[in-house]
Each structure stands twice: as C-alpha cells, then as structure tokens.
Amino acid sequence: MTREKIDDDPATTYTARESGVSFAKGHRLAGAQVLDFREAVIKFLKEHPGYLCAECLASSLGVPVHPTTMITLGLQRAEGFETSHGVCSRCQRLIRVIKAEGKA
C-alpha cells in the first residue's frame, strides 16, 4: 500500500505501511494499536523537523485526523516535544502545531 506523492516534500510520501499503522474499517483503535500509532507519530515527528498541524501530520501518515489530534494533544505534555499556536511548515496555516525538539 502506497500513497501518491502529494508534493515535493519527502515527508508526504511516508505511508501508513511504513509507519506500521493500520486501521480497521471505521477507524477504531484498540489499546495496542493506539500505542503503535503513538510510536509512529513520535517517529515521524523526530524524522521530519519543523512544526506540523494535526491535519498535515495525519495526511503525511495516511491516517485519520481525529486520532492524530488526540495523540498530539497527549504529546504536548511529553518531554521532547514542543507545541504552540504557530504556522504549520506544510500548509502555512496559523494553527496549533507540534514538533520534536532537536538535540542541542
């Protein structure tokens, strides 16, 4: 399963298959799937620097927006992530965004 390239940014070609995320019809996630999905989001954010909104993150992963938003809201309290009301590096909208903090 692959997604067509959306634009020239290599992050947009990241697929649900590459991230290890899969969804059953209806997009309901069981406990283990949520943990796998959370790890996929963390991995993606660490591999793709810059602030991303939940919609662009979900699009890049090829997954629904709602569970992606729930994961990012949880990550705002986790060490190693920075959230703010700022400009998404993909869609350029002023919106809630998240990024993995770089190692300084």
pLDDT one-digit tens code per residue, 26-83 = 444 444 455 688 899 999 999 998 999 999 999 999 889 999 999 999 998 888 999 9
Q: What is the pTM of this model?
A: 0.67
Note the pLDDT of residue 103. Answer: 53
- Residues 31, 76 contacting (CB under 8 angstroms): no
Note the pLDDT of residue 102. Answer: 72
Phi and psi (nearest 5°) for 95? -160, 170
Q: Look at residue 89 and tell me whether its pLDDT is greater than 60.
A: yes
Q: Which residues contact 25 (CB under 8 A, 6 or more apart)?
A: none
- Domains, the chain, ranges and CATH? 10-100 (1.10.10)
